Structure 1
Amino acid sequence: MSALNLDDFVDLIERPDGGIRRDAEERRARLAPPADALGRLDELGEWLAAAQQRVPVRPVERPRVVLFAGDHGIADLGVSARPAGSAHRLVRAVLDGESPVAILARRFGVPVRVIDMALDCDPAELPEEVTRHRVRRGSGRLDIEDALTHEEAERAFRTGMAIADEEADAGTDLLVLGDLSVGGTTAAATLIAALCGTDASVVTGRGGAGIDDLTWMRKCAAIRDGLRRARPVLGDQLQLLATVGGADLTAITGFLLQSAVRRTPVILDGVVSAAGALVAQRVAFRAPDWWLAGQSSGEPAQEKALDRIALTPLLDHGVTVGEGTGALLALPLVQAAAALAAELPEREEAGAEEPGETEPGETEPGED
């Protein structure tokens, strides 16, 4: 296996086709609804056309939800409302169709794929197609030790790339990204604070499960300690992920970059996917042009990351559950934009004649 060189992504990732986007804008100017009448739906339709390199845009018909799962050792400090090592319960709820994202996906007719990167459970408890990519059992405690070894980080990153390739090869036309983790928001906030040069208190939120004030203080302290370990390795993105990220976040970063290489659009969910996106932006500055921010989760770290990436969330409904739910809620909006851009008729030009019409006083050919 060749060595992983993240600098290759700079050359491999191209922006969505600007010329196609201009063609889509020109076509939109000819459609029946007045300019700006469809608001952000117009922008989404034009973005999809550029991504697909096609005018009119194709409807989004083969989306898929992809959830990367893992436990984080930092959860042992009591930084989450959920017990440490319990992310496998979140996975089981998805597989059993009982979680919010599973219920919505069933309603929308969207398949869900779960990838175990570092769950702290016996692999036999879950299906083999879920656990076959596992890098380790739980990521290390980021405040006092590396979350991953360098070899584990490279393996997790390559797994994310491989999942992106599999989805592109299967014809998936839009990816909905999420995570199933315990302690993941602490790791994500640490990455975002490090990359944005921000103090721990600025990025420490309440998490999708909600935490009390004492738990918030423990979480803030853990992020502060993680930052001390993250800052010396800021120039090496893979080492940064190994130091304070974890297997799921590392896989998400590889997944996002390779999805951009394969020209597959992605909807981001909450703070964990935003953290992976921020690291990926540091690797390849054109990559964010292939992503949408599905929703605002209310996490201050997510807001920091999206501001740095220059992505504006499509929705802001106060949904904090995570697990890909907010990103999936945004999917119908993107599908609506594609359908309108594809199917709306062009308006008739003022004064255009119907076939067979003649002006007053004129005669049809052959008449005297």
Structure 2
Amino acid sequence: MTIEQVINEIKPANQKAMQMCENRFDSIAKPLKSLGKLEYAIIKIAGMIEKHEVEIDKKALVIMCADNGVVEEKITQTGQEVTAIVAENFLKNKTSVSIMAGYTNTKLFPIDIGIAKDTNLTNKKIAYGTKNFAKEPAMTKEEAAQAILTGISTVFELKKKGYQIIATGEMGIGNTTTSSAIASVLLEKSVDEVTGRGAGLSNEGLIRKIKVINDAILLHQPNKEDMIDILSKIGGFDIGGLIGVFLGGARYRIPVVIDGFISAVAALMAVKMNPLVKDYLLPSHVSKEPAAQMILDEIGLSPFITCDMCLGEGTGAVALFPILDMAVRVYQEMSTFEQIKVDAYQPLDA
């Protein structure tokens, strides 16, 4: 299956299922719409899965792990070797998100889509890291397409295994640099407006990071209407894989939760490829990175959580799961007005 075929096979959310879900919520013995975004999330999931009986018990977290050649430009606090170390620790329950996933009964699927060395992760490696986009395109267009298809096929595999909701995560030193570069192009904002300190840059490091991104955009002139062109010139394999996860979620009708800035950039790129992808996205939190809120605004989504998180790995996406679980339990188990023999609340004119 090609990317174009996947894009063309995406259908809108099922409005009938959403209406049935909303009707059920309105029948529950509580003030109308009083769970706010929690109700909206469950209603939206009903539209994704085409039925009002919503269940999200079987949860997955897909973590796309890759290295970025631009790290050569000293735009990060740590070296490239950290990517493989942290990625391997996903398998040992020794990372923040591993512990959070255990608490939320979420199965981790860390994927080596482009780490600079061999690892014990699921091997879907496109190459041993991208090229340094300060000097040349990060990858070929064929590699960019392969990264996206890897994400799509990952969703297909999880669907066959019965997973009902997917959180997104990433690991790759230098990926706030690639994400900031893409955000600058897509949002048509200056690089200094959308670029932050990542995992902790000094003032000098931040100035260097902004210059490297500016110079790369001038060098490569990415076409803001062509997501493959942008990804190949200034992106990363992890971002490409996540674009595929978002496209695959829409194609195979599985809710996909956006994590932070990097994940949101990939989500925006998927929406640019087909606006219907938005029907299958759930935001989680808004990252501390400068462009994080701008990206969510561009997609048209409002975060559930505002905790000033900026860790990555999928931590924000997994943090949303207990909130969604509580909403589903209320939806499934709470008594209706009819059952407790109380007059139902009536909507008031605005």
TM over 0.5: yes
Q: Equivalents in 1 of 2:129, 2:82: separation in Å? A: 10
**Superposition deviation, residue 287 in structure 1:** 0.3
Q: Does 1:94 align with 2:96?
A: no
Give secondary structure in 2 for the equivalent of 1:233. Answer: coil
Q: Equivalents in 1 of 2:235, 2:275: separation in Å? A: 20
Residue 120 of structure 1 corresponds to which residue in structure 2?
Answer: 116
Q: Does 1:203 align with 2:203?
A: no
Whichever residue aligns with residue 18 of structure 1, its letter is: Q
User: Contact conserved, 1:269 with 1:293, CA < 8 A, in 2?
Assistant: yes
Residue 312 of structure 2 corresponds to which residue in structure 1?
Answer: 322
Query: In structure 1, which of residues 159, 180, 183 is the aligned counterpart of residue 174 of structure 2?
Result: 183
Q: Does 1:13 align with 2:10?
A: yes
Two-structure CA RMSD over aligned residues (Å): 1.9
User: Contact conserved, 1:194 with 1:230, CA < 8 A, in 2?
Assistant: no
Query: In structure 2, which of residues 57, 64, 68 is the aligned counterpart of residue 61 of structure 1?
Result: 57
Q: CA deviation digits over 1:95-127, x for unaligned, max 9?
A: 111110001111222110111111112x1xx22
Query: In structure 1, which of residues 308, 311, 315 is the aligned counterpart of residue 298 of structure 2?
Result: 308
Query: In structure 1, which of residues 131, 134, 137 is the aligned counterpart of residue 125 of structure 2?
Result: 134
Q: Does 1:251 align with 2:248?
A: no
After TM superposition, the structure 1 = structure 2 runs for residues 265-284 of structure 1, keeping only pairs within 5 Å, are 265-284=255-274
**Superposition deviation, residue 86 in structure 1:** 2.3
Q: Does 1:70 align with 2:61?
A: no
Give secondary structure in 2 for the equivalent of 1:182. Answer: coil
Structure 2 runs not aligned, ≥5 long:
343-350
Change (3 A) 1:349 1:66: closer
Change (3 A) 1:82 1:24: same
Give secondary structure in 2 for the equivalent of 1:13. Answer: coil
**Superposition deviation, residue 214 in structure 1:** 1.1
Q: CA deviation digits over 1:299-349, x for unaligned, max 9?
A: 122222111001111101112111111111111111221221122221128
After TM superposition, the structure 1 = structure 2 runs for residues 36-47 of structure 1, keeping only pairs within 5 Å, are 36-47=33-44
Change (3 A) 1:73 1:259: same
Q: CA deviation digits over 1:180-221, x for unaligned, max 9?
A: 1100111011111101111100100121x2222111111111
Residue 82 of structure 1 corresponds to which residue in structure 2?
Answer: 78
Structure 1 runs not aligned, ≥5 long:
353-368
Provide TM-score, normalisation by structure 2.
0.93
User: Contact conserved, 2:7 with 2:247, CA < 8 A, in 1?
Assistant: no
User: Contact conserved, 1:9 with 1:283, CA < 8 A, in 2?
Assistant: no
**Superposition deviation, residue 10 in structure 1:** 4.4
Change (3 A) 1:351 1:178: closer
Whichever residue aligns with residue 59 of structure 1, its letter is: E
User: Contact conserved, 1:71 with 1:86, CA < 8 A, in 2?
Assistant: no
Q: Equivalents in 2 of 1:318, 1:286: separation in Å? A: 29
**Superposition deviation, residue 269 in structure 1:** 0.7
User: Contact conserved, 2:60 with 2:106, CA < 8 A, in 1?
Assistant: yes
Change (3 A) 1:10 1:161: closer
Provide TM-score, normalisation by structure 1.
0.89
Q: Equivalents in 1 of 2:276, 2:247: separation in Å? A: 10
Q: CA deviation digits over 1:45-76, x for unaligned, max 9?
A: 21122222222x33310011110001111112
Change (3 A) 1:350 1:302: closer
Whichever residue aligns with residue 174 of structure 2, its letter is: G
Whichever residue aligns with residue 29 of structure 1, its letter is: D
Residue 361 of structure 1 corresponds to which residue in structure 2?
Answer: none
Q: Tell me the number of residue pairs that the alignment of Structure 1 and Structure 2 aligns.
A: 343
Whichever residue aligns with residue 200 of structure 1, its letter is: V
User: Contact conserved, 1:157 with 1:253, CA < 8 A, in 2?
Assistant: yes
Residue 136 of structure 2 corresponds to which residue in structure 1?
Answer: 145
Percent identity for Structure 1 against Structure 2: 25
